Amino acid sequence: MHFLSFNTTRLTLTLTFLLVSLSSVISSASASQDNVPFNPARAFQKEFYVQSNLEFTLLHELAHAVIELNDIPVLGGQEQAADQIALMLLIMADNTNKKDINPDVLNKLLAISGEWMLEWQEEKRHSKPVYWDTHPLAIQRFYEVTCLVYGSNPDQLESLRREKILPVERAWDCDIEFEKTREALAWLVKKVSDFEFNESWDLVKVRDNKDQLPGRIKVVWIEPSTQEQKQIYAQLKSFNHLADVLKRINNLLNLKTDITVYMEPFCRAPDAWWDGTKNNMTVCYDLIKEFEKNSLLLPDLVKKLKSGSKD
């Protein structure tokens, strides 16, 4: 049943154009000296892709936790706020990103935006996009990532606009969007941590309230049930990335209560969520499986669209 009529042909064409543009940036980037050295081969490499998207997922759910536990007022919807907090934490995590672009951070953001693009394809193919949901559409989340990244350094990321990955109408104000979002992050960091951003946007410790707010985030791995989940479990345990992300968050945040992250093998859908009634978040093994699958899909999709074949 159609709840809303929608011009899907136009959207397909837009997405096709976008992916073809992306692939042309990818192929031209290495040849051009003035471009930031994109290395999408790394962005789409399975382990890196999974880690990047898992990190974004954790930061997004944690943003919900911080908003709820600290009674943070939100304008414009909590899902969008959670996305922006997660993205800004990623962009601002690396100091070089302020003046320069760290290719590794860029690849991370490329892996995250790529995931949104693939989810959008999937939504259109197998189900129908849900317009009434609290989450923005996957394709809107793709543009959100791209705009904030571009806005962080428009001069160095000029290729995103030039190659029309980001339409000029949106790109125009992305630097202002970035500035406003960064100011909001600075306000939030001041509110929920012992740190503040200084004038040159370095995080500096300005007080010590850890004793009064000793909450920590810890992970509980629920025993995987299938062979596939056992593999995911072994892989996730083998790299330190998850532990590093949690260590960084625990250092930064003051929490009034402990938060438990459950790695969950029994889910109805590949998903992750925050449960404010129990102060825990859940990440499904199936979501990791989805990331793994999509890491393999993206290069093929780009190639297929580049060669002009239709799906």
Residues that bind Zn ion in the complex, under the rule CB under 5 A: 79, 82
Residue closer to Zn ion by CB (options 140, 209) is 140
Contacts of 270 (CB under 8 A, 6+ apart): 284, 286, 287, 289, 290
Contact between residue 29 and residue 55 where contact means Cβ atoms under 8 Å apart:
no
Residue closer to Zn ion by CB (options 44, 56) is 56
Contact between residue 188 and residue 72 where contact means Cβ atoms under 8 Å apart:
yes
Q: Tell the smallest beta-carbon distance from residue 18 to Zn ion (Å).
A: 24
Tracing tokens 């810890």 back to the chain, one arrives at 218
Q: Tell the smallest beta-carbon distance from residue 256 to Zn ion (Å).
A: 21
Q: Tell the smallest beta-carbon distance from residue 78 to Zn ion (Å).
A: 7
How does 254-267 read in b/e, with b if 16+ C-beta sit within 10 Å? Answer: bbeeebebbbbbee
Q: Tell the smallest beta-carbon distance from residue 50 to Zn ion (Å).
A: 19
* Residue 102: exposure state from Cβ atoms within 10 A (0-12, 13-18, ≥19): middle
Q: Tell the smallest beta-carbon distance from residue 68 to Zn ion (Å).
A: 11
C-alpha 216/C-alpha 235 separation (Å) is: 24
Residue closer to Zn ion by CB (options 135, 304) is 135
Look at residues 92, 91, 89 and name the one whose alpha carbon lies nearest to residue 63: 89
Residue closer to Zn ion by CB (options 12, 78) is 78
Residue closer to Zn ion by CB (options 160, 192) is 192
Contacts 24+ apart (CB under 8 A), 268-273: 272/57, 272/58, 272/60, 272/61, 273/61
Q: Tell the smallest beta-carbon distance from residue 63 to Zn ion (Å).
A: 8
Residue closer to Zn ion by CB (options 36, 82) is 82
Contact between residue 231 and residue 192 where contact means Cβ atoms under 8 Å apart:
no
Residue closer to Zn ion by CB (options 62, 298) is 62
Contacts of 300 (CB under 8 A, 6+ apart): none
Q: Tell the smallest beta-carbon distance from residue 232 to Zn ion (Å).
A: 22
